[in-house]
Amino acid sequence: MTTTTYPDQIDALDLTTEFTRFVGERLWLDFINSDQSVRDSVNHPDALDAFESYVGWLRAARVLDDERATAMLRRAQQQPTAASAALHEARRLRNVLRGLAEHSGIPGGRAEEAAISEINRILGRSAGSRRVESRSDGGFVRSFVTVGDVFAGLLVPVIESAADALVQEELPRVHRCANPRCSRVFFDASRNGKRRWCDMASCGNRAKAARHRQKIKVHTAG
Ligand SMILES: [Zn+2]
């Protein structure tokens, strides 16, 4: 039997790696890019390899603050089975969302149907109830208590971002990077709608350098 130990403090997580670079312009697209989408980059682990890096990614994406992230890691230590189920669910959602992002030109297609049913399934599971509670100082506070899985709520901001993209009809501007070795997806927020690269600093630059080399070759050959 293998035991997983989670760091007590979020500071113990390594957040310096490539997966914390966000180029998608939308949370749900950055979530998709948390896989090993840049295959020729050595320093690019899959953020959903382990629950702790999943939490690290959510924190880097500002879905969780330090306090909640640390609480989630503690919870995972107490409930390892539920934590690994949550991780599994996150991976499943990511696959479905990639399908949606990459088939964005086909409205009503199978990828869209699968994404909508997954979105509604997770939203349905992360239900909760509103309560009014008395505070220690005699006042009252509204609170929201989740029912069921404590980890289910983690995906809600990602899901809502994907739902917004559907509602606001953003899908026609969702593209995959033009570098064939890179599967990052992004929302093209440029005014002319001609963004081709996930990132000018990496893929865009590489393409420019390759074109330049090609030009030199042609010149020397001719
Ligand atoms: Zn790229």
Name the more confident of 184 and 104.
184
Cα(206) to centroid(ligand 1), Å: 9
Cα 36 to middle of ligand 1, angstroms: 11
> What are the DSSP calls for 134-183, one per residue?
E-TTS-EEEEEEE-S-TTGGGGHHHHHHHHHHHHTT-GGGEEE-SSTTB-
Q: What is the pLDDT of residues 23-32, one digit of tens each?
A: 999 999 999 9
Q: What's the CA-to-centroid distance between 110 and ligand 1, angstroms?
A: 26
Q: According to CATH, what is the number of the domain 10-123+153-221?
A: 1.10.3300.10
Question: Which tens digit of pLDDT belongs to each residue from 2-31?
Answer: 444 445 555 545 554 555 678 999 999 999
115-165 pLDDT per residue, tens: 999 999 988 876 666 778 787 788 887 765 666 667 878 888 899 899 999
Q: Ligand 1 center to residue 156 CA distance, Å? A: 27
The reported pLDDT for the residue numbered 138 is 86
> Separation of 186 CA from ligand 1 center, angstroms?
9
Domain residue ranges of the chain, discontinuous segments joined by +: 10-123+153-221
Ligand 1 center to residue 89 CA distance, Å? 26
Instruction: Output the pTM of the full model.
Output: 0.79
- How far away, in angstroms, is 38 Cα from ligand 1 center? 7
How many Å lie between the centroid of ligand 1 and the Cα of residue 178? 7
Q: Which residues surround ligand 1, an ion (CB under 5 A)?
A: 177, 179, 182, 184, 198, 203
